[in-house]
Homo-oligomer: A and B are copies of this chain.
Amino acid sequence: MSVYVAPLKDMRFVLNELAGLDELSKLPGYQDATPDTANAILQEASKFATEVLDPLNYSGDQEGSKWRDGAVTTPTGFKAAYQLYCEGGWSALSLDPEWGGQGLPKLLSTPVSEMMTSANMSFSLCPMLTQGAIEAMLLSGSEQLKKVFLPRMFDGRWTGTMNLTEPQAGSDLALVRTKAVPASDPTLGDHYRISGQKIFITFGEHDLTENIVHLVLARTPDAPEGVKGISLFIVPKFLVQADGSLGARNQATCASIEHKLGIHASPTAVMVFENAIGYLLGEENKGLSYMFIMMNAARFAVGLEGVSIAERAFQRALAYAKDRVQGRDLLGGAKAVPIIRHPDVRRMLMLMKSQTEAMRALAYVVSAAVDFSSRTEKTEERQRLQAFVDLMIPVVKGWSTETGIEVASLGVQVHGGMGFIEETGAAQHLRDARITTIYEGTTGIQANDLVGRKIAREGGVTVKEWLAVLRKIDLDLAISGNSDIQAIRSRLAAGAQAVSVCVDFILATAGKDPNAAFAGAVPFLKLMGIVAGGWQMARAALVAEKKIASNDADQLFYAAKITTARFFSDHVLSQAPGLAATVVSGAAAVMALTEDQFLSA
C-alpha cells in the first residue's frame, strides 16, 4: 500500500530558490519565517499528514460521512484527527497574531496545506472553509462579533462554513433568495431572522466541534435586485451567550447530505434556515464585495488542491510502477521487468511529475507575491504585486485543478486494471479531484475572470508586464550552454509569443465582440497555465544548472530538475501554439449553431 511522503526536497527548493523565502523573512512581521523555521514546520506537518491524515483517507472515503435526523457523523478517526490538528496549532498558521494566529507568511502555510490535502482532501476542507470564514469576519466583522467568534475559530474549537449556493443560484449569485429580516429583542439585541435553503455547504454539519459558525448570503427586505442587494450574516449553529458559552440551538439545520462522486468523508450539506438568528457582517448589501475580496484566498486554496491530489496520485502510481512486473524491456532480456522500464509508463509518470512540480512552483510563487504585496511599503510595488496575484489566481485555480484531474486520471491508467478497483486507492484521487474544477468557480468562471476582469479591463497592462519578465528570462536562458535548457528556451519563447498573440486578440475583441473573446477563454487559461508553469520550470532549470556547476551535493536532484523541465517543455509547453490558434481562430464555430441544431436524433 502506498503511503504519502511529503515532497519536502522539492518544497524546500521552491521556497528557497524560486519563491524567495529568504528575502521574505527580512520583511516586517516575517522575521520568524527563516529557512530553518520553515524546515521545522514542514517536518512537523509532514509527520502529521503521513501519520494522522493519510491513514484515514481511504477508510474515510469508503465509510463516508453519515446523516441521521439532522446530525452528521464523520468517518471513524476523523474526530480524533481533528483534535490533534487543533492541538498541533495547525489551525491558524498564517492568521493574524492579534487573535491568536501565528502570523506566518502564506508562503509557509501553503506547503502545509498542500501536505494535509495530499494526505486527506476531505479532511482538509473543514479547516479550509473555517479559514475562509475567519478571513471574511476579519474583513467585515464588528469588534464585538470578532471577540465572540474569532478566538474559538482560531484555535479550532468552532469551525466555519460558507453558505452561498442555493438551488437556483450557483455561479450566478444574483439569484440568491434567502431572506434576512431585521429584528430586535431585549436579550439578543439587534439581529436578523434568516430564512431560506442553501445547498453544497461543505462541513455544514458534523460532529468534530461543539459549534459551527455559518456565514450566509441573504437579502434584506428592501434590498435592490441582483448582486447589489446581497448581505453577509453570521448564523451560528448554537447561539453564543455573553460569557462565550453556548446557548440555544439556532434554527439552522442540515436537511440532508449529498451522495457525491468523491470527497465522501466531507459532508456536503443541504442547510435549512427557518427564522434563524443571524448577525450582519459589515454593511447591508455589501456581502458580495466582501466575498470577492476573500475569493482570491479560496480560489488559491482550491488550485492548491489540484497540486496536492496530483502529488498524491503521482506517488501512488510511482510506487506501483516500480513494483508491478509485466512485459519485457524494449532493449532486450527474456524476463518481465517492472513497468517503470516501459517508455509509455515513464511518459505518464513524467507527465505527472513535471506538471505537479510546475504547478507547485507557480502556486508557491503566487503565494509569496501575496506576502510581499502585503508587507511591501512602497504603494506602487504593492499594487504591482497585487495585480500579478490577481492575474495569476484564476490560472492557479483553473489550470492546477484541470491538470490535477488529468494527473489523477493518469494515476489510474498507470495501474492498468487495478486502477479501476476501488481498493487500490488510485480511483479515489480521480473522484476527489473531479470537484476541484467546479467549486469556488468553475474553470469557465475562472477563465472569464482572467479574460474579462484581469486582462481586458486593464488593457492588458499586468499580463504585458509578465510577458516582459518572460523576455528577460529568455536572455538568461540564452547564455546557458546546456542543450536541455536551449530546448526549454525555444519552447518558452514560443509559449510567450502564443500568449502575446492571444492578449492582442482579447484586447481587440472583448469590447466589440465579447462572445468571440470569451469563446476561447478556457483554452487561453490553459495556455497561461502551461506558459506560467514553463516559466517556473525554466527558472528551476537555471538554478539547477548553477547548483550543478558549483558542485552542490545534490547533483541527482538538480539533474532531475533539468530533465523534468525539459520534459515539461516538450510534452506540455509544446501545446502552446495550438492553443493560441484555437483562441484566435476558434470563436466562429462556437456560437454558430442554433440551440436546436445541437441534436441530430
Contacts and interface: CB of A to CB of B under 8 A. Distances in A.
Contacts of A175: 326, 336
Interface stretch (A182-190, A242-250, A514-522): A514-522
A438 B421 contact: no
A519 B582 contact: no
A504 B232 CA distance: 63
A457 interface: no
A65 to B, nearest CB: 15
Contact of A343 (B169, B338, B420, B515): B515
A269 to B, nearest CB: 13
Given A336-B175, A589-B564, A590-B343, A318 B575 contact: no
Contacts of A224: none
B518 A343 contact: yes
A12 to B, nearest CB: 9
Interface string A423-443: 100010011001101110011
A578 interface: yes
B422 A438 contact: no
A550 interface: no
Interface stretch (A26-34, A98-106, A553-561): A553-561
Interface in A565-601: 566-567, 570-571, 574-578, 581-582, 585-601
A448 interface: yes
B588 A566 contact: yes
B326 A171 contact: yes
Nearest to A416: B170
A9 B590 CA distance: 22
Contacts of A519: 343-344, 346-347
Contact of A443 (B258, B413, B571): B413
A219 interface: no
A92 interface: no
Nearest to A601: B5
Q: Give the interface centre of A174, A262, A570 by most chain B CB atoms within 10 Å.
A: A570
Contact of A574 (B340, B567, B582): B582
A84 interface: no
A172 interface: yes
A427 B434 CA distance: 9
Contacts of A326: 169-172, 175
Contacts of A412: 261, 434, 438
A350 interface: yes
A204 interface: no
A353 interface: yes
Contacts of A313: none
A322 B595 contact: yes
Contacts of A563: 589, 592-593, 597
A223 interface: no
Nearest to A523: B571
Given A8-B601, A260-B420, A350-B590, A444 B570 contact: no
A345 interface: yes
B318 A9 contact: no
A351 B408 CA distance: 22
A522 B340 contact: no
Contacts of A570: 581-582, 585-586, 588-589
Interface in A436-495: 437-439, 442-444, 447-448, 484, 487
Give the number of times this chain occurs in the complex, counting copies: 2
Contacts of A588: 484, 566, 570
Contacts of A577: 577-578
A3 to B, nearest CB: 11
Contacts of A9: 600-601
A18 to B, nearest CB: 14
A175 B335 CA distance: 10
B10 A331 contact: no
A20 B444 CA distance: 40
Contacts of A327: 171-172
B521 A344 contact: yes
Nearest to A261: B427
Given A346-B519, A405-B409, A417-B165, A586 B567 contact: yes
A574 B566 contact: no
Given A260-B420, A560-B597, A599-B318, A590 B171 contact: no
Given A518-B343, A570-B582, A430 B420 contact: no
B591 A343 contact: yes
Contacts of A55: none
A547 interface: no
Interface string A344-367: 111111100100010000000000
Contacts of A575: 575, 578
Q: Give me the 7 closest cross-chain CB pairs, A-B, nearest first.
A: A567-B589, A344-B444, A570-B586, A10-B600, A560-B597, A261-B427, A343-B519
Given A258-B420, A431-B431, A563-B589, 19 more contacts: A6-B601, A7-B600, A171-B416, A259-B421, A261-B412, A330-B514, A330-B518, A331-B514, A340-B598, A344-B447, A346-B593, A347-B522, A405-B409, A427-B434, A560-B597, A566-B589, A567-B586, A570-B585, A578-B578
18 contacts: A6-B601, A8-B601, A9-B600, A315-B599, A318-B598, A322-B595, A340-B598, A343-B521, A347-B520, A350-B593, A412-B438, A413-B437, A420-B435, A427-B434, A484-B588, A556-B596, A560-B600, A570-B588
